[in-house]
Structures are given as structure tokens and as C-alpha cells.
Structure 1
């Protein structure tokens, strides 16, 4: 019996040794992901550690990380078997920031927000909507379609957290998983790229930029990268080197979990393709665009305020927060937080061609540009938006375009149906069958 116990203990030790050895090169990224995730979900979304570790952090090998939450300091430290400790600190107004072990203080900047309430009904204000019944909607079919997006009891397959369906500016269906509700902030991941698109759209409307301009950065002035246009960056068709792989130590994981200044990693990459002929999905490009936006302002404070004063707060997305890196740049690729209802407001802005309750926030031409297919993407990508022009969802309208994020976050905008559909969860297509989800909802609206 003793030999069996010793043998079992040896197997356990060898197993843990193998786990550490096989993942050691990635430990900085594993603990960085874990600390950042737990910090944001705790202090930004107000969730408990158990739900975070069993939900957001149950990714192999992230679930090996041990997390310690310091409520007083508003920080989280994460290790794997005591190794590679990483720390994330919550800063009011800019969210959770990954910092080196020996540094506590990071950015001291904080955007100015305008939370003025309006005496209007949602989506243009905070008042509840009046009950509206559309005779063009089969509500039983609609509710069944929404219910089908969620797991049955004791299942963990679809893992949907929130669904909001808006038709003609009215919420016609809404559902949340246990532990989530209309006030829960949710991470959009790469849906944040579309927010970055909108900020650039505001600058374009103000006449401060144009999509065909070149010589975008001083660092490129003496080489062929000076010919890259703003359009090339927006369409991710610049020809710059980039690897977007979340399962390895790649450009994107190094950027998000190792870099203090996330605007620089794509900036310093060489040109390996021809602009407008080399489509490559790149979160680094979006953070480079965040750096480009910063360069349009004299001060960093003006840059921080602009995203909110000219866009986010103007359309009443009061729950939204875009997190920054350690140097104070918005992580426009990945870290936008808001309630499902506020994410839906963003979809409505684009559904209504840049107009928000009578105020033109973006030029209508900018909306058309954003959903114009880029070369080489088979009709699936425009300018920081995903498209259905190529029929990736065969049973949904071709004019659908969307904000998409890691693990199946979506804001679907469907002009021909006057519909915006929001879905948050932890599984993505094809595990979560997006085409079925869309087609079932749309079939209930005649």
C-alpha cells in the first residue's frame, strides 16, 4: 500500500513537473492573462473570483494560475506553482493595467467623463421603454430562438451570457445567464476594434484625417512603409508582418501580456507584403491606430478625453470603459467593457448611418466605407468590422456587418431588417452555431 501511495505521489509530482516544463516559456503570458482577467472582472465588472476562474479563466493552460485578489489595493497577483508572478492594478477611469513586479504606480492619466442623463427612453436615455407590440413579430418564435442560444440546465456547450435583440429602436427580446444581468459589464475583446474605427470616423468628420493619407508615422519616413495609407491600416491590409495566434507565444500574446506600450509592436514590424494586397488580421494594427489617434492631439489628456466626449458619452454608453496599457494608450484592439445594452447602442449608431437621435456623429459615407470589403478577405472584412458580404452566414442577409470578439462576442447590425442583435458568451462559431442563432431570430421578424 505504501509503495502504491509513493508511486501515486511520484506520478503527481512528475505530472506537475511536466506541466511546468512544457509551459515555462509561456508562464509570463499565462499569469499575465490570468491577473489581467481576474482584475478586470473583479473591479470593473464586480464579479466574484470563483465565477471568473470557472468561466473566463477556464482555458488551458490559464486555469493552472493561482490568483490572489487584494481588495484594499485593488490589485490581483497570479502565479503558476509559485512561478512567474504577474500583477494587475485597477486604476479608476482606465481599468486594470498589467505592471512589472517591482512597479506599483503606472499611468496617472484619467479621462474626463460626461454622465449627464437625458429624460428619454432607451436607447436615447435611461428611462424604461414603453411596451410596444409589433404585429410583424412572432414573439413565441422569437423567445424560443433566444432561449435556444442558452444552455439547458447542467449543460456547458453554448455558454451564452447575454442576448439583446433590438428592432426599430425597441428591445424586443433580452436574456441573461445566471450571474449576469442588464447592468453587468462585459468584455467585448476585439469588438473594441470597431470602437477604434468610430473614433477615427469622428476625426474624419471633423476634417482632421482622411483615409488616403500616407506618411503616418515619423518612424516610417525613410522607408517604404511611408507609402502605407490609413485605409490600409483600417482594413488590415498594410503588408506589415504580424502573427495573430492566441495559442502560442506570438505577436498578439506578447503585445497584450508583455508589452508596456502596445502601440509600438506593430509600428516596428517590417513590410513583408504589398499594401492593399496582403490582408492579415492584426490586433497590433488596431493598437497602432490608437497611437495614430494620439498623434492628432497636443496632449495626452486631450487624446484620452476625445474617445468619450466625442463618441462614447455622446451616445450614452455610460457603462463603457476602454482600458489602457501601462503607458496610457487605449488598448483599442481588445479591452472595451460595457453592458450588453450599451454595446447595442453602438450597433444602433451604425445601423442609423452614424446618426444618433438627430445628431450626425459620423458621416454616412464613413459607415459605407466601414462595411466595404477589403481586398483578399473574401467579403468577410471591411474596416475594423466583419462582413457577411461573402456569405459566411448563409441564412442571414448579405448586408449584415458586425463587431466580433474572442470567444463569440458579437454586435450584429442588419440594415435590411432594422435589427441589432447582441450576443456575449464563451464559445464561438462553430461550437456556437452563429448562422442558426441569427436565422432563428430573423425568422420571427417578418
Structure 2
């Protein structure tokens, strides 16, 4: 079934000619003159008071840093947990290799566990994996008192080879017919990237830095690898809030940074084109390793456990970053707060 037909996507704004890219330092700006400052201050206060711990909020508009606020023991130089925001970084790395001609997202993915003749998983494509539509069995649960493939993969029997743990799972649904968000799926993708360039552990990290982080001036990322040398792209790429804003700006600028194309033409549109989801899906709309709609129509975001967000908002030329540690029971309220904050700029 795949993903739906292409829809009309909001245009991605270009960087103003008089605003430098923040490769070395963020150009500074002010909150918009027409912004309701009373409402803004009240909502920002709520954001730091009502959702457990809020560690950082960074707002970029027009390519300029217009507001940032940090919680206790946090600041511009403090790295924050990525959790699943790392999935969107994995998507960017996949795009780079697609641009290099090293990957074809519509060809069967290079997964050793699926090579046995007749194995139906052997037909699964990278596109299906990036859209969380492979049909593979995986229990994405974060509570230690419930059966959880996520916990077993990251901290239990699967931790030394996260991709093998996930790839060893059977099909639970026909591919392309069922959306199921899965950290295991991303780790299969991450290993596929390593196999495409025969680079693991430090060698793959060098690729990440040379092709993605360093061109953007992202100096803080700390990616984590398992014992097999696979980037744990589902969950672990710690970075400062400012560097996550740089990453968001790359997507807001259609994968181009200071005149250099980092991501291939169309890759950002691919990330934000909706994936087929079953009618009763409660997770919210999804693209290709990016979530959709958190900051209003046309927005897309990298989301992580406990309330990590990088929200890209094309119609406002805005990137909104939030990091913290929010309990699951407050998650929906936090997401609504992010939407309210973004709406203040409309």
C-alpha cells in the first residue's frame, strides 16, 4: 500500500541574504513586534513550571536566534538527551547516502537476517522502514513493568547488536498496510547505512561529523554505538538545544546550508510527506522518520521520549526546540503547549 499520493506541501523559506547561517555563531534577533508578550511570558512560565523538568527552549525565526531559556544546571553549552530525535538524524544520514548513490530507498533493504530465499522480509524496502510501515513485530513500550522490545533492545539482551535484535523479529502485518512506530526499525536502518559504506563505530561517526555535523557547525553531538559498531540511531545522539536548532534549520532550508546542498533535492519533502496509517492510529500523523503537524498545519518535527522536540514550521520560518524530562502522563499537555507556543507567532 505504501504511502499516500503526494500532497501539496508548504514551501520551505530561503535564508534571507542579509542573515548568515549559524555555522560559527547564531545571528541574534528579537521577538516579533506584534507578539502578545504577556501571553508569551505566561506560556513560557507554564512551560518551565507544569511539565516536570524543562531544560531548554530555543526559538529561531528567519534564521535568527530570537529567544532561549534554560532550566537549572542547563545552558547553551549543555548537551541534552535526544531520545528519538536521533531518528530524524538517522533520516538525514540516509538522505546523504541516497544523494551519494549508495542507497535506493525503493530497493530491498540490505538486511542479512532476511536473505534466506522465500523469507517475506527480504522484500522490505528502506522506504517502508523509514515510514514505520514494514509490518515487523516490535513492542515500543517504555515502562519497565510491561513487556518491552525497546528496553530489551537498548539495555537487555539486544544491547550489543541492536539491529540484529530488531531484524530477527517476524512480520506481524503485511508490509505497507500497518503503521507501527518502532525504535528497532530505526536501528535496522542505521546498520543498513553502515553496510552501504562499510563504516562502523568510529568510522561511521567520522562520516556523521564530516557530512552532517561539521558543515552545520554542530560541534556538540555525542552519538552512541553498540558493541557491533552500529549507531543507535533510534535513541542516542546527545546535542545542545542550539545544535538541534541548527539541524532543524537545515530542514527548514530544504537541506541546503550556506549555499551547499547537504541533503539531496526532495529529501526534506520526502520526510514530511504523510505515511499511510490505519484509521484508528493514535500516534498522530507521520512522514518518514519525522512527525507531522505538532506546530500546526504543514509543520514537521523530530520528537523524543520525555518531551524532546525540534519543530520546523515553514509558514512562520520558525524552528522551536524544547528539551526536558516530562512524565508520560503529562505528554499530551506538553504537546498542546508546544502547539500554543508556536501559534503565538501566527
Q: TM-score range by the shorter chain?
A: 0.7 to 0.9
Task: Name stretches of at least 5 consecutive residues in structure 1 with no aligned partner.
Answer: 1-119
Aligned residues: 317
CA–CA separation in structure 2 for the residues paired with 1:131 and 1:280: 40
Of the structure 1 ranges 168-177 and 374-383, higher mean CA displacement relative to structure 2 is found in 374-383
The structure-2 alpha-carbon separation of the partners of 1:149 and 1:295, relative to structure 1 and needing over 3 Å to count, comes to same
1:184 aligns with 2:78: yes
Q: Secondary structure at the match of 2:266?
A: helix
Given candidates 57, 71, 76, the residue that maps to 1:163 is: 57
Q: Secondary structure at the match of 1:165?
A: strand
Distance 1:292 1:443 in 2: 38
Distance 1:266 1:367 in 2: 26
Across the aligned residues of Structure 1 and Structure 2, the Cα RMSD in angstroms comes to 2.3
Q: Which residue of 1 aligns with 2:319?
A: 420
Distance 2:193 2:262 in 1: 17
1:217 aligns with 2:111: yes
Give the conservation status (yes or no) of the 8 Å contact 2:296–2:339. Answer: no
**1:245 aligned residue:** 141
| 8 A contact 1:380–1:386 mirrored in 2 | yes
What corresponds to 1:236 in structure 2? 132
Q: Specify the alignment match of 1:226 in structure 2.
A: 122
Name the CA shift for 1:217/1:170 in 2 (closer, same or farther; >3 Å). same
TM-score, normalized by length of structure 1? Answer: 0.66
The offset of 1:146, in angstroms, is 2.1
What is the match of residue 217 of structure 2? Answer: 316
Displacement of 1:131 in angstroms is: 4.8
159, 179, 191: which one aligns with 1:291 = 191
Shift of 1:331: 0.6
How much does 1:169 deviate? 0.9
Q: 2:291 aligns with which of 386, 389, 398?
A: 386
Q: Distance in 1 between matches of 2:56 and 2:225?
A: 25
1:183 partner SS? coil
1:139 Cα deviation from its structure 2 partner: 4.3
Cα 1:280–1:443 shift into 2, 3 Å:
closer
How far 1:348 moved relative to its partner?
0.7
Specify the alignment match of 1:256 in structure 2. 154
Aligned twin of 1:327:
228
Cα distance in structure 2, aligned partners of 1:131 and 1:272: 50
Residue 172 (structure 2) pairs with residue 272 (structure 1)? yes
Does the 8 A contact of 2:285 with 2:291 survive in 1?
yes
Q: Is the 8 A contact 1:397 1:416 kept in 2?
A: no
Structure 1 pair 179/149, CA: closer, same or farther in 2 (3 Å)? Answer: same
Are the structure 2 counterparts of residues 420 and 145 from structure 1 closer, same or farther at C-alpha, using a change threshold of 3 Å?
same
Do the aligned partners of 1:264 and 1:288 also contact (CA within 8 Å) in 2?
yes
Match of 1:150 in 2: 48
Quickly say closer, same or farther: Cα 1:174–1:143, change in 2 above 3 A.
Answer: farther
Residue 294 and residue 346 in structure 1: after superposition, are their counterparts in 2 closer, same or farther (change >3 A)? same
For 2:176 and 2:93, locate their aligned partners in 1 and report how far apart those are by CA, in whole Å: 22
Task: Measure how far apart 1:135 and its partner are.
Answer: 3.5
Quote the offset at 1:430 in angstroms: 6.1
- Aligned to 1:313, the other structure's residue is in SS state helix
Residue aligned with 1:296, SS: helix
Are 1:173 and 2:63 matched, yes or no? no
